[in-house]
Homo-oligomer: A and B are copies of this chain.
Amino acid sequence: MATKLALERYLDRLRLRSKLSTAECDAVRGLNGSIVTVAANQDFVRIGDTIDHACLIVDGLAARFAQIRNGNRGTVAFHIPGDMADLHSVVAPNVTWALHAATATTVLQIPHTELIAVAERHPAIAFAFWRDCVVDANVLAQWSVNVGRKDAAARVAHILCEMQVRYSVIGLADGSRFPFPITQTDLADALGLTPVHLNRVLKRFKDERIVTKDLGSIVVLNHAKLAAIGEFDSAYLELARNPAPKS
């Protein structure tokens, strides 16, 4: 049943961006996979592996990261329920980034063979998958601008705005509060900041009643101010309901 719910949620995501016929929707619903649970702080896809399945996040929070010299890891993306965290592995199965469970996480592993079969049978699904990867890359590009060109406060504000939108779309945000079960250390890593400095930024945000964070969730107190600080505009997420009609 968890499988069914997860696929339905993923289908919702696809349909936000791509128009699919009833038959195509059913084809996605018919995908098979196996549910796996990953303990907090475990890597579940490792660099150098060649994998034969993609991971649909059912529950929890996953981070995609690259290893760097000094043992540090550079996180490049967060994946929340409904995200196919490594759909790209279907066409590039040699892992060059890894996946890590930031908190206890449930994953639906879907064999590449299943995904390829459904994409070959239904060109519209192939386009939908391709489109999904492209949007993912868009998010990455935005990310790279953030960490490359903005100061610490703007980076923090931007990611919090992004996560709020993404959790809202999947129905997990509760008013101004949304779950984000991540430590300051892990978040700092994703932002290219020291945990110490992230902590100071968060303190400032709390003092100025903009946003507060605890281990489990975020509460946005002043959304307008947060978005302004982060120069946030949600367009790049392509989560508004306007599926591309073509193919």
Using a CB–CB cutoff of 8 Å, the interface residues on chain A facing chain B are 64, 66, 68-69, 72, 74, 76-77, 88, 91-93, 96-97, 116, 119-120, 123, 126-127, 129-131, 133-138, 140-145, 147-150, 191-192, 231, 235-236, 238, 244, 246-247
Residue of B nearest to A66 (CB): B145
A interface: dominant SS = helix
Cα(A138)–Cα(B77), bound, Å: 12
The reply to whether B231 and A145 form a contact with Cβ atoms under 8 Å apart is no
The reply to whether A148 and B147 form a contact with Cβ atoms under 8 Å apart is yes
The reply to whether A150 and B92 form a contact with Cβ atoms under 8 Å apart is no
Residue of B nearest to A64 (CB): B141
The reply to whether B130 and A126 form a contact with Cβ atoms under 8 Å apart is yes
Q: How many copies make up the complex? A: 2
With a cutoff of 8 Å between Cβ atoms, the chain B residues found around residue A145 in the complex are 66, 68, 74, 76
Determine how close the nearest CB of chain B comes to the CB of A29; give it in whole angstroms: 21
Cα(A81)–Cα(B130), bound, Å: 23
With a cutoff of 8 Å between Cβ atoms, the chain B residues found around residue A69 in the complex are 231
With a cutoff of 8 Å between Cβ atoms, the chain B residues found around residue A136 in the complex are 137
The reply to whether A97 and B141 form a contact with Cβ atoms under 8 Å apart is yes
The 8 closest A-B pairs by CB, nearest first: A148-B192, A147-B148, A74-B145, A137-B137, A144-B144, A91-B131, A130-B130, A88-B134
With a cutoff of 8 Å between Cβ atoms, the chain B residues found around residue A76 in the complex are 141, 144-145
The reply to whether B133 and A96 form a contact with Cβ atoms under 8 Å apart is no
With a cutoff of 8 Å between Cβ atoms, the chain B residues found around residue A144 in the complex are 74, 76, 140, 143-144, 147-148
Cα(A64)–Cα(B123), bound, Å: 29
With a cutoff of 8 Å between Cβ atoms, the chain B residues found around residue A238 in the complex are 92
Residue from A66, A130, A143 with most neighbouring chain B CB atoms (10 Å) = A130
18 intermolecular pairs with C-beta atoms under 8 Å apart: A68-B145, A68-B231, A88-B134, A91-B131, A91-B134, A91-B247, A92-B131, A92-B135, A92-B238, A96-B141, A97-B138, A119-B123, A120-B123, A123-B123, A126-B127, A130-B133, A134-B137, A147-B192
